[in-house]
A and B are shown apart, each in its own frame.
Chain A
């Protein structure tokens, strides 16, 4: 009713390929980006920037990485955190050992390293299908975790295996402040999401989905299975690697192998299940959920009479709720929050009518 769609027609194919075909949607996106880039750094307080927005953005990126592999290409993976770790540690080593390397290049190269490792562990997908493929990415998860702790070289021989991130300098501007880190993260995430949008809508994206839906038929119509699958692993690895580097540098400020354990892999998988497999928006929704839910829950608990539920129990409750939500989503809405959002919008278009 407030949202005039009538009168907007696409006259060229290129217009029809846009993500947001309605003028209002495009304006809305532009406004959102303007607010995100210009308003938030000034207005946002440190807590919101550091503890909520940055992890939200980084987890969205990680979600997109896993989504490319699992949601679009249909290859199940439990090794996401391992590839994030590779990206983080590779970026760290490049920054520390190669003087004068621009930060953005280091991050890109870290992503590349993660891409290569991911492609390596993706080789078995050429022979193994479906559920069994889990073994390969689990092997990656455990192997990488072991290798990063075992070989001190990766952590520059620090005693505890934990290293702190070096200064973030881009074009001479220091970005260590929360607003700076936020802008760095935002820029990288927006750029990579634009790239991701192009990828999933390209021929490669269709090939991924074809392999996901029925790979024998895909081979018969000429899609090169090996190349398609390996590219999925590689590109997914790249995104996860960059996300890992950002997680370490822009969010935590330290890099340690433990932060990239199996639980993190599960977390990323949960993001894309809750957010929606095969969806771009879903990554944001899932990540927002994962970041905000614990905060919401503890706030709720603090509203109850004190002593009813002590602090330790909150974590357990969280775990239970999470698991229950996963199951609920899988049963009720397998396409996740993205689909729920879509349905809501369709209802909103017709409002106040019902159908």
Chain B
């Protein structure tokens, strides 16, 4: 029984990481109305920048700020060059544009920083911690705590500050927000900065775990099932979705794996998301689209 809990908690901890990644997507979706497939590539780029700066002896916090700034610059360029011209098009068109964008950024990142894997040491040991008879990874716990505090910070930001109110207004109805004097550009910059921050932290945690390499940009493929389950517009949904995907993925791998075969974590989240969609087409927390004929 303890083993089950060990796996479960391990999965939940991983799920917190997924949630963190998904939150970045939710923020962008709320601000720009697009599922930004290039998010992974952008995070990868900023993490690569961070790591390369570290390797050249730049102090941690400076490197962090510079990477964040790089991410923001890219975001601004993306909005100007890609999103604005496509402003009224279907979500599928926007998605395909972000697909193209991810190719551009990936190619650029690889051209700039090279294709080798960079190690990232955040100074947290990976020795297992024993808690109540279960072995848990110290690193996982640290990551989960970081993610949880970020989420708490974001909730405070969105719900208790004026800025958060403006963000929610813009997400709900940009035109109406404009009409009451909210500066769309500013709000937009804030959202992308926050998303960039969240993305960078998530990227650093992932990178420390897996090594900074190109599979990092594939983290976006993990975010999609989370968003499907949790809804594209809800941060709490992203958290719940992340936890569900993380836990079920680990449990499936451990318990179903021996029966069906290893490596099912690739498609299992998608299968789960599919089942969810069939039951609740708008996700757990998402908004139902009503079609007026």
* A and B in contact, CB less than 8 Å: yes
Query: Which A positions have Cβ atoms within 8 angstroms of B?
Result: 76, 124, 127-132, 134-136, 138-139, 142-143, 145-146, 149-151, 216-217, 262, 266, 269-270, 273, 312-313, 315-320, 322-327, 330-331, 334
* Chain A residues whose C-beta falls within 8 Å of the C-beta of B4 in the assembled complex: none
Contact of A134 among B85, B111, B224, B260 (CB under 8 A): B224
A-B contact pairs, 13 of them (CB 8 A): A134-B95, A142-B266, A142-B267, A143-B270, A150-B260, A150-B262, A313-B111, A316-B107, A316-B108, A320-B103, A330-B86, A331-B86, A331-B97
Docked CA distance A318–B111 (Å): 11
Cross-chain contact A326 with B92 (CB below 8 angstroms):
no
Alpha-carbon distance A318/B281, docked complex (angstroms): 38
B91 A324 Cβ-Cβ under 8 A? no
Of chain B, the residue at the smallest CB distance from A328 is B100
Name A309's closest neighbour in chain B (CB-CB).
B111
Other-chain contact of B274, A124, A326, A330 (Cβ < 8 Å): A124
Instruction: Tell which of A76, A217, A323 has the most Cβ of chain B within 10 Å.
Output: A323
Separation in Å of the B293 CB from the closest CB of chain A?
Answer: 6
Instruction: Give A143's nearest chain B residue, CB to CB.
Output: B267
- Distance to closest chain B CB from A92 (angstroms): 21
B-side interface residues, number (CB < 8 Å): 45
- Which of chain A's residues have a CB closer than 8 A to the CB of B267? 139, 142-143, 145-146
Cα-based distance from A239 to B104 in the complex (angstroms): 30
With the chains together, A35 CA to B164 CA distance in Å? 66
| Interface flag for B102 (CB, 8 Å) | yes
Chain A residues with CB under 8 Å of B278's CB are 124, 127-128
CB closest chain-B residue, reference A131: B91
Q: A131-B92, A323-B102 are known contacts. Are A138 and B108 too (CB-CB below 8 A)?
A: no
Complex Cα–Cα for A324 and B261 (A)? 40
4 A-B pairs besides A134-B224, A139-B270, A331-B82 with CB distance below 8 A are: A134-B95, A135-B274, A149-B263, A323-B103
Contact residues in A for B74 (Cβ distance below 8 Å): none
Closest chain A residue to B38, Cβ basis? A323
Q: Contacts A135-B224, A330-B96 given; indicate if A323 touches B104 (C-beta within 8 A).
A: yes
Interface residues of B in 204-226 (CB under 8 A from A): 221, 224-225
Establish whether residues B96 and A273, one from each chain, have CB atoms under 8 Å apart when the complex forms: yes
**A324 and B103 alpha carbons, distance in the complex (Å):** 8
Instruction: Report the separation of the CA atoms of residues A135 and B86 in the bound assembly, to the nearest whole angstrom.
Output: 23
Measured CB to CB, the nearest residue on chain A to B282 is A132
Please, which residues of chain A bring their CB within 8 A of the CB of B82?
A: 327, 331
The answer to whether residues A322 and B103 also contact, given A76-B92, A131-B91, A135-B228 and a CB cut-off of 8 A, is: yes
User: Inside 8 A of A131's CB, which chain B residues have their CB?
Assistant: 35, 91-92, 95
* Complex CA distance for A131 and B273, rounded to whole angstroms: 13
For the complex of A and B, 10 pairs with smallest distance between CB atoms: A323-B103, A326-B100, A319-B107, A323-B104, A320-B107, A142-B267, A139-B270, A316-B111, A323-B100, A150-B261
Listed residue (B97, B221, B291) with the most chain A CB atoms within 10 angstroms of its CB: B97
Least distance between A262 CB and chain B CB atoms (Å): 8
Interface status of B264 (Cβ within 8 A of chain A)? yes
CB within 8 Å of A: which B241-275 residues: 260-264, 266-267, 270-271, 273-274
CA distance A217 to B293 in the complex (A): 8
A7 to B271, CA, bound (A): 60
A1 to B130, CA, bound (A): 85
Residue contact A216 to B104, C-beta cutoff 8 Å: no
User: B95, A135: Cβ atoms under 8 Å?
Assistant: no
From A138, which residue of chain B is reached at the shortest CB distance? B270
Chain A residues with Cβ under 8 A from B240's Cβ? Answer: none
Q: How far is the CA of A163 from the CA of B64 in the complex (A)?
A: 48
Q: Does B277 contact A (CB under 8 A)?
A: yes
Residue of A nearest to B266 (CB): A142
Complex CA gap A324/B91 in Å reads 19
Say if the beta carbon of B69 comes within 8 Å of chain A: no
Contacts of A149 in B (CB 8 A): 263
A289 to chain B, nearest CB (A): 14
Q: Are A132 and B277 touching (Cβ within 8 A)?
A: yes
A173 to chain B, nearest CB (A): 41
When A273-B96, A324-B100 are in contact, do A146 and B266 touch as well, CB less than 8 Å?
yes
Residues of A within 8 A of B273 (CB): 135, 139
Indicate if the CB atoms of A132 and B281 lie closer than 8 Å: yes
